[in-house]
Amino acid sequence: MSKREAATENQINDALNDLPGWSLVDGKLQKTYKFNSFAAALGWMVSAGVEADKMNHHPEWSNVYNRVTVTLVTHDLGNVVSTLDLTLAKKMEALA
Amino acid sequence: MSKREAATENQINDALNDLPGWSLVDGKLQKTYKFNSFAAALGWMVSAGVEADKMNHHPEWSNVYNRVTVTLVTHDLGNVVSTLDLTLAKKMEALA
Amino acid sequence: MSKREAATENQINDALNDLPGWSLVDGKLQKTYKFNSFAAALGWMVSAGVEADKMNHHPEWSNVYNRVTVTLVTHDLGNVVSTLDLTLAKKMEALA
Amino acid sequence: MSKREAATENQINDALNDLPGWSLVDGKLQKTYKFNSFAAALGWMVSAGVEADKMNHHPEWSNVYNRVTVTLVTHDLGNVVSTLDLTLAKKMEALA
């Protein structure tokens, strides 16, 4: 599941079934997380960031106060959703 | 609850009832947390650290892999457990 | 310098002289930081985030890999740059 | 330099020449870092932690306020200083 290759439509749809709150927006995987506090949001970014860096696959994400919006896409495959994006989204869910 | 004053034995015992895994060790409040991963441990330290710094009350803590051992005591009151320590322990529990 | 009030044009211009890389973009204070690695970028976000939360004044910021774009504005004063924004920008510079 | 094997005395001594403040304590590599603030200490732990987790080689470290004491040793080689410890110490220095 974590090779760097484009995900099929079926793989994406299957994954989205297990990824509450995630959706495809302009061909990218996206979710806005809302935490109880800025402290909780920043701590989650650190946990997720450690995992992302270990995959050498980094999110585009923005934060204001207790919200974090994450956008996942694989640039070096031509801005498609890849199996790496699906894996990272699942890790992010597990840590949230 | 968050003034900087020594906690009474009653206050400490009441608080410990709501603080699973915490105990008094050598007159200090202590718990060892075990997380699912190093990533989760580090993220929690960040969340708890943000809250601690806002209280201007910092833990003594150590980490190896997925474990974090926290020791709370108030130095400027003569190394006693204070109401600040109880407040910080509760915040740490809420974030864990 | 850290009351929550609109900054005058003079205060903003004076502050920008000491804030290399920061500029006004659509009436907000903005800078894109580039670090040596994702690890360094995330660590800086944590340092700056701790300071921001202590001021109860939070940045809008986004990260991709080793870049962090920060936007500072004070919402509850009608989206103007305030003295708090100038203070936070200076803290961010000191930590970078 | 980053294979998991015991470092020779020569390798350790050579490395210590480039690692100011680090020394051997009870056969382990150790340094106490002092930062300008708790915020800076915590941010550095995050940067160093991201790198450590990517190496799958984790420090023993403790923090109080602006100080972080790091101890590096390789458990699965029988608690000796390994080339991994030297590599991690160098990364920590570069991030401090």
D78 — pLDDT class (breaks 50, 70, 90): confident
Out of A18-27, D2-11, D66-75, least confident range: D2-11
Classify C11 in phi/psi space as left (phi over 0), alpha (psi -120 to 50) or beta.
alpha
Give B24-45 pLDDT, tens digit per residue.
999 999 999 999 999 999 999 9
Find chain A residues with C-beta within 8 A of B40's C-beta.
Answer: 47, 95
CATH number (3.40.50.1100, 3.30.1360.20, 3.30.750.24, 3.40.50.300) of C9-95 reads 3.30.1360.20
Neighbours of chain D (3+ CB pairs under 8 A): A, B, C
- In the chain, the amino acid numbered D42 is L
Neighbours of chain B (3+ CB pairs under 8 A): A, C, D
Task: Flag whether pLDDT at C1 surpasses 80.
Answer: no
Q: Report the pLDDT averaged over residues B51-76.
A: 97
DSSP three-state, residue A16: helix
pTM of structure = 0.96
Task: Flag whether pLDDT at B86 surpasses 60.
Answer: yes
DSSP three-state, residue D34: strand
Q: Report the pLDDT averaged over residues A9-37.
A: 96
CB contact under 8 A, B50 and A39: yes
Give A65-86 pLDDT, tens digit per residue.
999 999 999 988 889 999 999 9
Q: Report the pLDDT averaged over residues C19-48.
A: 97
Give pLDDT, residue B4.
Answer: 78
Considering only CB atoms, C42 lies closest to which of D38, D39, D46, namely D46
Q: How far apart are the first and last CA of chain A?
A: 21
Considering only CB atoms, C38 lies closest to which of A38, A58, A65, namely A58
Give pLDDT, residue A39.
Answer: 98
| A53–D contact, CB cutoff 8 A | yes
Find chain B residues with C-beta within 8 A of D59's C-beta.
Answer: 63-64
Q: Report the pLDDT averaged over residues A46-74.
A: 98
Q: Report the pLDDT averaged over residues A20-24.
A: 97
Cross-sheet strand order for the sheet of B60-64: B23-25, B28-34, B67-72, B60-64, D60-64, D67-72, D28-34, D23-25
Give the whole-angstrom CA distance, residue A55 versus residue A90.
Answer: 13
Give pLDDT, residue D4.
Answer: 77
